[in-house]
């Protein structure tokens, strides 16, 4: 088999955090401790995957990407290719294979394994694997506290500069332990002693031990055990049972500061492990969900060179605390707040389709005659009036500054009434962009605040989600909304 593995990688965590104490206090229960990530009310699995994908791809030539896989248990559409939307927002070329992997906490590792196999078999050269999830536990449940929202992306290819794929061991096992019926908003579980004992513990152990045996390795040879677990206690128990040293060999399960991010969690933990891995390190990833996928990687020579634009530590550091559990409930759509002013724009599938290069791909037009760069694409140049003489330029990766803004109390959602309307200038050509500011503490925005662009939902209507780009401060942190 030719060499195959991970060339680039990147995680994504939403800016908002909820102190688990606030959830516990609301229900008169104990707190699991720490905080969990909470997707903003304009984020979903696709938008988070877009961010992770951009983080992983960095400044590489995206024309190389031949496949795009997306894994989640919280797809934004039940019928419709989520990966197609993702591919447009990432501005990948159209001649690629796209596929959604869904329905299982193993869909992330499943997508990764499928990509490794496809590249290994030579059917594709480079595949971007993305995973994102924002699952809901029942209000008052342990899962409500334990879950988090997040995403990760790995670029799989033959160069394998970051990590070479060594081998896998997979076990499939049918049991009703953790599930959601099609109409369910919240994750259902059976009695925890049963599901942990007969499900998680048994199958993780079987797969990890099976992989070590297959690769003719012992536990002590593994530099890093990457083992997503439903909670910290279970994580400790399974590490001990497998005979790994919790002090030196085991990756942070990202429960206390993030929460379990569903199908994305194994890939997020793998990306975090690669952030700090040394060349030659053996990394063993085991993901549970109706069985277990265990995958072994060896960190490559370039693991240190090809650091993603933002590491997991960067994301952990840049956060905004949600002020209340009530805000969490409304962001998640669990409670509906008093209706605000009716929103009177009528979304149109045809408009979004026609203008997809600007709306989804974030393309502006650069005049071939005078060089003026404008967004969205303009057929007639603002400056020299040349007609249909332009090249499309993606502006999403440019950085810029707020030119003017307002904190508009009339524009927002009823639970989140303030919209920071923003006019910003991006890049050296100072292309103008107008839109909403997201992931910010509104009172901290100033003329001149450095901003980037991020792909978000803008409003719901006509039974569709409607997506566009928004400004986002380059530096987030400290404040409370």
Partner 1 sequence: MGSIKDEVAIIGMGCTQFGERWDKGTEDLAVEAAWEAFEDAGIEKDLIEACYLSTVMSPIIGVGGTIAADSLKLRNIPVIRNENWCTSGHIALLEACMAVASGAFDMVLAIGVEKLKDTGYPGLGTGRGMHPVYEARRTSPGSFALIAQRYFTQYGLSEEEGKETLAKIEVKNHDNGSLCPKAHFHNRITIEQVMKAPIIAWPLGLFDCCGNSDGAACAIITTAKRAKDFRKDPIYLKGFGISADAGLPHFRPDFGWASFEALVTSSHKAYEMAGIKNPREELDLAEVHDCFSITELLIYEDFGFSPRGRAREDVDSGFFTRQGGLPVNIDGGLKCFGHPIGASGLRMTYEVYKQLQGKADLPERQIPDARLGLAHTFGGPPQISAVAIFSNELG
Number of Cβ within a 10 Å radius of residue 388: 9
Q: Which is nearer to partner 1, 107 or 422 (CB)?
A: 422
Q: Provide the pairing of β-strand 450-461 with 400-408.
A: antiparallel
The pattern of x and - marking residues 437 through 456 that bind partner 1 according to CB under 8 A reads ----------x---------
Give CA–CA dist 125/132, Å, rounded: 23
- Of positions 211, 374, 451, 481, contacts partner 1 by CB under 8 A: 374
Q: Which is nearer to partner 1, 34 or 461 (CB)?
A: 461
Q: How far is the CB of 321 from partner 1 (least distance, A)?
A: 23
- Rule CB under 8 A: say whether 406 interacts with partner 1: yes
- Of positions 459, 460, 474, 477, contacts partner 1 by CB under 8 A: 459
The pattern of x and - marking residues 10 through 49 that bind partner 1 according to CB under 8 A reads ----------------------------------------
For residue 128, what are its two tokens? 């971007």
For 334-396, strand residue ranges (E) read 363-367, 373-374, 390-394
Q: How far is the CB of 401 from partner 1 (least distance, A)?
A: 12
- Rule CB under 8 A: say whether 383 interacts with partner 1: yes
Give CA–CA dist 198/200, Å, rounded: 7
Please tell me the number of Cα atoms within 13 Å of 235 on its side-chain side.
21
- Of positions 29, 352, 357, 416, contacts partner 1 by CB under 8 A: 352
Q: How far is the CB of 418 from partner 1 (least distance, A)?
A: 9
Q: For residue 376, is the peptide bond before it cis, meaning its omega torsion is within 30 degrees of 0?
A: yes
Q: How many residues would you count in the chain?
A: 481
Q: Which residues contact 433 (CB under 8 A, 6 or more apart)?
A: 375, 395, 400, 422, 423, 424, 425, 426, 453, 469, 471
Q: Which residues contact 76 (CB under 8 A, 6 or more apart)?
A: 44, 45, 46, 82, 85, 465
Q: How far is the CB of 363 from partner 1 (least distance, A)?
A: 13
Q: How far is the CB of 85 from partner 1 (least distance, A)?
A: 14
- Of positions 345, 384, 391, 460, contacts partner 1 by CB under 8 A: 345
- Of positions 281, 466, 473, 476, contacts partner 1 by CB under 8 A: 466
Q: Which residues contact 460 (CB under 8 A, 6 or more apart)?
A: 466
- Rule CB under 8 A: say whether 351 interacts with partner 1: yes
Q: Name the strand (E) or helix (H) holding 157.
A: strand 150-157
3-class DSSP state of 147: strand
- Rule CB under 8 A: say whether 468 interacts with partner 1: yes
C-alpha 168 chain-centroid distance: 24
What phi, psi does 112 have (nearest 5°)?
Answer: -65, -45
Give CA–CA dist 426/341, Å, rounded: 32
Q: Which is nearer to partner 1, 77 or 382 (CB)?
A: 382
The pattern of x and - marking residues 419 through 438 that bind partner 1 according to CB under 8 A reads x-x-x------xxxxx-x--
**Count of positions on this chain that bind partner 1 (CB under 8 A):** 44
Residues 163-202 that bind partner 1 (CB under 8 A): none
Give CA–CA dist 34/171, Å, rounded: 33
- Of positions 3, 123, 245, 409, contacts partner 1 by CB under 8 A: 409
- Rule CB under 8 A: say whether 88 interacts with partner 1: no
Interacting residues toward partner 1 by CB under 8 A? 341-348, 351-352, 355, 359, 372-376, 378, 382-383, 403-412, 419, 421, 423, 430-434, 436, 447, 458-459, 466, 468
């Amino acid at each position: 088999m030719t060499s195959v593995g991970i060339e680039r990688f990147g995680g994504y965590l939403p800016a908002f955090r909820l102190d688990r104490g606030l959830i516990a206090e609301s229900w008169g229960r104990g707190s699991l401790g720490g905080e969990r990530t909470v997707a903003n009310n304009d984020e979903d699995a696709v938008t988070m995957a877009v961010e992770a994908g951009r983080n992983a791809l960095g400044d590489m030539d995206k024309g190389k990407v031949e496949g795009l896989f997306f894994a989640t248990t919280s797809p934004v559409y039940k019928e419709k290719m989520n990966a197609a939307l993702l591919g447009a927002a990432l501005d990948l070329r159209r001649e690629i294979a796209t596929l959604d992997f869904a329905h299982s906490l193993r869909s992330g590792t499943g997508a990764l394994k499928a990509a490794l196999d496809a590249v290994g078999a030579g059917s594709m050269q480079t595949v971007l694997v993305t995973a994102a999830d924002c699952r809901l536990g029942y209000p008052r449940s342990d899962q409500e506290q334990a879950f988090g929202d997040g995403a990760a992306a790995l670029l799989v290819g033959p160069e394998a500069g970051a990590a070479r794929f060594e081998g896998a061991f997979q076990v499939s096992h049918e049991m009703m332990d953790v599930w959601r019926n099609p109409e369910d908003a919240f994750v259902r579980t059976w009695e925890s002693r049963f599901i942990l004992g007969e499900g998680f513990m048994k199958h993780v152990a079987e797969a990890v031990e099976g992989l070590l045996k297959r690769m003719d390795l012992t536990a002590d040879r593994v530099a890093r055990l990457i083992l997503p677990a439903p909670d910290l206690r279970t994580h400790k128990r399974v590490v001990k049972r497998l005979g790994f040293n919790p002090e030196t060999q085991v990756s942070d399960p990202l429960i206390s500061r993030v929460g379990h991010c569903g199908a994305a969690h194994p890939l997020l933990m793998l990306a975090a492990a690669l952030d700090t891995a040394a060349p030659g390190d053996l990394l063993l990833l085991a993901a549970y969900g109706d069985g277990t996928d265990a995958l072994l990687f060896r960190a490559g020579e370039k693991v240190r060179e090809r650091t993603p634009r933002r590491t997991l530590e960067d994301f952990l550091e840049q956060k905004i605390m949600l002020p209340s559990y009530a805000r969490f409930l409304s962001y998640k759509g669990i409670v509906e707040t008093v209706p605000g002013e009716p929103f009177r724009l009528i979304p149109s599938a045809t408009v979004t389709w026609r203008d997809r290069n600007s709306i989804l791909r974030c393309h502006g037009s650069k005049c071939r005659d005078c060089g003026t760069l404008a967004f969205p694409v303009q057929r007639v140049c603002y400056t020299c009036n040349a007609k249909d003489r332009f090249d499309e330029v993606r502006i999403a990766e440019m950085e810029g500054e707020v030119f003017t803004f307002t904190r508009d109390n009339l524009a927002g959602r009823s639970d989140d009434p303030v919209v920071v309307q923003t006019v910003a200038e991006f890049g050296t050509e100072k292309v103008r962009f107008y839109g909403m500011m997201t992931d910010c503490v509104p009172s901290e925005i100033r003329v001149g605040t450095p901003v980037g662009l991020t792909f978000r939902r803008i409003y719901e209507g006509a039974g569709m989600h409607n997506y566009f780009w928004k400004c986002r401060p380059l530096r987030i942190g400290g404040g409370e909304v």
